[in-house]
Structures are given as structure tokens and as C-alpha cells.
A and B are shown apart, each in its own frame.
Chain A
């Protein structure tokens, strides 16, 4: 079965050369291990992804050679740390193709990015009777901050529906772009379903009515080229740990004009220009939004991760993962009793499924014994589970270091589950 499907999979055509997955795997020390006596097949990349050696080296180098606080000392170490931190901001800017470095705010991750917008933009712009529009496939981190804001302001949260394939119903979405909508906040790629949203259309429709758009890029940034200027989105948030960087760091992009007009998020050191007990003036962008000592090592590690993926090329990564996803989709569809949840035409990196008669939690335990790491549960997207009438799914999520053989291992693991529960 392996060979036939393999042959049917077209080699990635564009861009230029196919990616050498074995060479890439050598850069990820964690992938060499065995789990329960089996080679690790790490298929939980949507939860967090693994780190290549250059990222590990960057972290170690910072702590062994340059460790100091930034923007504060005149001494050599502080100068080096500050320069490395700001170089990373430049890398994030290039990664997203933002116009200026000051449009890149370092945050803890996607969650903090969304909360920053909900807090600073939301509290300023949203009043009683206003509306915020999201979709039915959002991660909890793009639901709850808006519920908190809406409750505080007496505003309403509108939810655009999805169809049975897990695709946004764009006509319904457009109908919900009502006069009181102050912000549209949607995921670029769904973590539970893998759906790639038609974000260009979403932004065009929203902007036609003067409504700004925040994109949750947590699951898009690791898999595809993101160009915030071409998209013309107003905000874009992603997490470092999902793009092969450290945990605890991420970035929020915002158009300078919008960020400039927003009040600060957290008060503290570094975000001020001058403080007296009578009056405090705030620092300029991006520092206005970076109160307190940031995750300096994390930002530097994120810069190294971005160098790494851009070195491979996001288009090559996307092309390789597309072939892997097609291969995995076929392999799973060939197993009787497997139902894929999320069958959008435009998909990235996610194989979410249920197996007839077996609870995902049991599937996960059996797969773990085979060395296969997957996630089971609701994936922080309970409304998605409800939409499909299931309590949970098993989710295999891919990265460019995964192989076709690992997908075969997954398929064989599912057969094992069926035998055990047959």
C-alpha cells in the first residue's frame, strides 16, 4: 500500500528543489529518540513544534556569553543583548514582510497578542451595542478575550458559521459584517480542522466596510509564507514555539497608525518615556507595548528559528507538507471506520479524525505505545467539536521534518487500535 500511494504522490513541483527531509531531521536532536522502544514519530506539531540545533545554540549562546538586560545598560553585555534582541525583531519583520520594525511587538505568544488587541484596541474602540465578529472555528484564545471585552462593554460577539467540511461560509460571514462591527478576528488556519481561511476575501470584505481585521496566525506561520502587507491585515499574531522557536515568545504585528493610536497594554519599565507621580508619558512604538523585561533569550531564539525556516524557504516547506498531507489523507481514508474531521479544500498540516467505536483518548494511548505522539481531545476548540457533534478527535499534525514513513507508522498504529478494540 505504501509504495502505490507513494507513487501517486506528485513530487513537489515548485519551487525548484524538493526538500531533503533526512538532512533536515539531523538538525533536530529530539527526533532521534525512542519512545516505548519505538522510534519517535512526532505528529503533534500543532500543539508545539520541535527546535532545530541553531535555536538551541542561540539560547545557549545568549545565556553563556551575552546574558544581561536590554535597553538599560551602557556596558558591553547589555549592548550585545540589545543588538541581538533588536536583530530578532528585524527578522520577524522580514518573516511577515511588515513595513517597519516598530510594527512588531514581542509578546508571550498568540494568546497574549490577541489579548493585547482586545485590551488596548478593544477598550478604546468598543462601546455598548458594538459587535466583534469571529468564526465558529476559533481557538479558545480567539474567543475568550472577546467575551471578556464584550461582557465589560456590553458589546456582542458574532460568530460566522462553518459548513460540514469545516470551511467558513463566506456569504454568511459577509452578512454579519454589520454597521456596529468594530473588529473582525479570525484564524488564518484552524488548529482543530486544518482549514485555511480565505483571509484575502475576509479582509477585502471587512475593509470595504471600514472594519479592521486581526488574523490569528498561530497555525499559519509555521506552514506558509505570510505577507502582512500583501494581505493588508491590520493585526497578525503568532507563537514562537509553533514556528520551531522557544516557548514563551511570539509576536504581534500591527499597522503603525493603529498601534500608535492605541493606549498601552501593561504598565512598567521600558514602556515609558518619563514618569512622575503626576504624569507619565509613554515610550514610542514598539516599546510602548513591551512593558517589563521581555523574554530576551526567547526573542533571540525565535530569530534563529526564523533564519532556519526562511533558509529552507516557506514555499518549499508548504509544497512538501502539501504532499505529506495528501498522502496522509489517503492513508487515513483507506482505513475503514476512520472519519476525517475537517475536509476543507484548502487545508494545512492537520489530520483530525475519529475512529468508529473507539474514544480518541484510547486511540492516543495505543499510538503512544507505538512511539507516535498525537493529540487527543477538543484542541482548545470546544465549539468546533460541538459543531461536529463529537466530544473529541485524535489529531495528527505535520511539520516539514515529518516523513511519509511516519504517516505509514500512524496508519499502522490505527490498525493496531482497531485490532485491540475490534
Chain B
């Protein structure tokens, strides 16, 4: 049986209580809203994109510990990366939370994002962990529409 401490690691709880980059980004030139109808989680991701690089990233919203921590850690992980790199990171992250795979050598290293590896044992929580990422991708594609995990 999975231990809840593996899902809710200290880092996850800390980020959920004191999320980083948790504010509106006044000079953002990209943003998108995400919504998870299953639990009512709402998130807005703001990006300041300059020459194809994510100069700054932030988020706002309300959600469960997993979705808030995931958004918080995501903003740190993608800051300074190119849009392309951010998308690749999402792919590796998606693999991690759906299959529990440690990424192979070719994949983008996950660093701190690895704290979410146990999400794969809680299939209903995958949507929580990926909501901010789906929203980021949609912001980068610059669609202003609301993305939904359903």
C-alpha cells in the first residue's frame, strides 16, 4: 500500500502552504486559465515571454495541495527556459505522474519535480498535478480560452 507521506512529501506540503510565484504578473504577455471540474480547482498562469524564453512565470488560483504545489514548483522549473524546453519538461513530467517512470537519459531531467513521482499511484490525482502544466501550455500557445482537464 502506498504511504501517504510519499504522495504528500514535505516539499509538496510546503509549496502548497506557501506557494512561490503566487501572484498576478503585471507585465505578462501570455496567460491562460485552467479549471478542473472534478474538484473545482482553478488556476491562472501568467508568462512574460521574451524572444521565445519564459522570462517570468507566475500563477494565481485555488486548489488542492497537489495542484497548488505542482503549479508552484512548475513556475520555478520553467523560469528562464525556452518555450520548447518548457514543453519538453511537461512531457517528461506527464510521463512521471501517469506512469511513475523515472525519465530515461534522453528525456529532460526533472530535478525537484520528481517529488510528484508517487502521484501515479493515485490516478484520480493526476489531473491535479497536471492542471497548471496544461494551463501553461495553453498560455504559451497564447489561447486565452479556459482549459479544462475533463
Partner-B contacts on A (CB < 8 A): 36-37, 357-362, 365-366, 369, 376-378, 385, 391-392, 420-421
Contacts and interface: CB of A to CB of B under 8 A. Distances in A.
Contacts of B110: none
B65 A359 contact: yes
Contacts of A366: 4
B128 to A, nearest CB: 7
Contact of B65 (A36, A358, A391): A358
Contacts of B66: 361-362
Interface residues of B, number: 23
A140 to B, nearest CB: 12
A366 B4 CA distance: 7
B39 A377 contact: yes
B1 A365 contact: no
Contacts of B122: 365
A376 B65 contact: no
B40 A420 contact: no
A362 B42 CA distance: 15
A376 B4 contact: no
Given A359-B64, A362-B64, A365-B122, A420 B8 contact: yes
A189 to B, nearest CB: 23
Contact of B40 (A362, A391, A421): A391
A392 B40 contact: yes
A359 B4 contact: no
Contacts of B114: none
Interface of B: 1-2, 4-5, 7-8, 13, 17, 38-42, 62-66, 68, 122, 124-125, 128
A379 to B, nearest CB: 10
23 contacts: A358-B65, A359-B63, A359-B65, A359-B68, A360-B64, A361-B39, A361-B125, A361-B128, A362-B8, A362-B66, A365-B4, A365-B124, A365-B125, A366-B4, A377-B38, A377-B39, A378-B40, A391-B39, A391-B41, A391-B62, A420-B4, A420-B5, A421-B8
Contacts of A362: 8, 64-66
Nearest to A385: B40
A37 B1 CA distance: 8
A377 B8 contact: no
Contacts of B8: 362, 420-421
A359 B38 CA distance: 13
A2 B100 CA distance: 41
A377 B40 contact: yes
Contacts of A376: 39
Nearest to B63: A359
4 smallest CB-CB distances across A and B, nearest first, come from A359-B64, A361-B64, A391-B40, A361-B39
Nearest to A38: B1
Contacts of B128: 361
Contact of B13 (A360, A361, A421): A421
Given A377-B38, A392-B39, 4 more contacts: A365-B4, A391-B41, A420-B8, A421-B8
Contacts of A392: 39-40
Contacts of B2: 369
Contacts of A377: 38-40
A313 B7 CA distance: 45
A385 B4 CA distance: 28
Contacts of B5: 420
Contacts of A391: 39-42, 62
Nearest to A369: B4
Contacts of B13: 420-421
Contacts of B7: 365
